[in-house]
A and B are shown apart, each in its own frame.
Chain A
């Protein structure tokens, strides 16, 4: 469909001692142009005028010869949007509108993946959102196939496939049970964008300690501390030992070192000793010599 804009260009030049000249010009605008493509605007009539192409992304101005086709080579208009074409003569101006549309070929993905680090085995813990752009950084609003792929540290793959809505799409994935690095990839057409997600051990699971006498003291030592997926909990994680005896209580915080925590407490016969890490409670020992 082409828009035809009548352009009555009437030049009254009586003051210049010339006969009045009346012409009618027609500007045929394309309804839409693909970004970056060549296009032309045939203009009928005779004489000269100025053609303005006005948009929020680009502005062009051309001196044109009426009665000829004004050609715009490839790359002239590349920013998608609504454009106003204004044909201005000496005494009259006409205008019309047309659209520049995004190229329906993905060239760039804006891919936001969160978080950058998370505990293992978290359902829907990883999310990705993507916006799809054409070679001219126009958002491709037509539905575009997108796929998300998350490869876990052990090589397991989760996939989601969909189409964009108004240029955007999103997916959520589970963190897997093994600590390490995930590769999170968004694909659109022949392009892709990759983000790296770190999976760290979760909270301790099955926290257990043993106690034994060590001289005048009581030596407490945990088993190797692991999360519920069997990953060693990071060194530095605080393990809290609490001894309750005769109405009194003493607490010692110890960081994990080489996967275990150990501490010496006063040896009180009949004491109750507990171990915890954050809100995770371990076992309890009632100590008797």
Chain B
């Protein structure tokens, strides 16, 4: 019961020092199935870096520049997004992803501290442009599963996968 209580109520992304987005962020109490305790400092860093990854994602897909993914993405997630950008560029498409709301829960912190998994119910808008002509803007609600790993100075997204509503 307690676990279902919200750990923190609505927090503005700006309060976490993230970009210009106006997304609201709700952080639910962690429901860790790993043995490792999660410090408040680590929790804050992971969420901050994850939210920043949405800014990187938005910029990269809007400009079709895979290099903009580098600060936030690594491994499989980076490879897949890079391929998406390549496909977009090949057919003259750009997409603008604007996240509007996040409902985040950390679900796994590996025993060695080298990976952390969270779930996020995200609301976002996708604007699709074909040769700079807007085709549609769609509001989407999706549940994401994200795995992050620590890099030199920040957490980077290694798995980034929507699982539907």
Q: A: which residues have CB within 8 A of B?
A: 32, 50, 52, 54-61, 79-82, 84, 86, 88, 93, 95, 97, 99, 101-102, 112, 114, 127-129, 131, 133, 137-139, 141, 165-168, 170, 172
Contacts and interface: CB of A to CB of B under 8 A. Distances in A.
B80 A57 contact: yes
Nearest to B31: A165
A79 B160 CA distance: 11
Most buried by A among B130, B135, B142: B135
Contacts of B163: 80-81, 99, 101, 141
A127 B84 contact: no
A166 B34 CA distance: 12
Interface string B87-119: 110010101010000000001101110110101
A32 B164 contact: yes
B25 interface: no
Interface string B123-165: 0001010100001101010100101000000000001111110
Interface in B31-79: 33-35, 57, 61, 76
Given A97-B140, A129-B34, A141-B145, A165 B107 contact: yes
B16 interface: no
Contacts of B18: none
B81 interface: yes
A84 B126 contact: yes
A137 B160 CA distance: 11
A52 B111 contact: no
B159 A131 contact: yes
B4 to A, nearest CB: 17
14 contacts: A50-B130, A56-B160, A57-B83, A59-B95, A61-B91, A82-B140, A95-B138, A114-B114, A127-B35, A131-B115, A167-B145, A170-B34, A170-B35, A170-B111
Contact of A112 (B97, B110, B159): B110
Nearest to B119: A166
B136 A86 contact: yes
Contact of B80 (A32, A52, A56, A61): A56
B129 to A, nearest CB: 10
Contacts of B161: 80-81, 102, 138-139, 141
Contacts of A54: 93, 95, 126, 128
A129 B76 contact: no
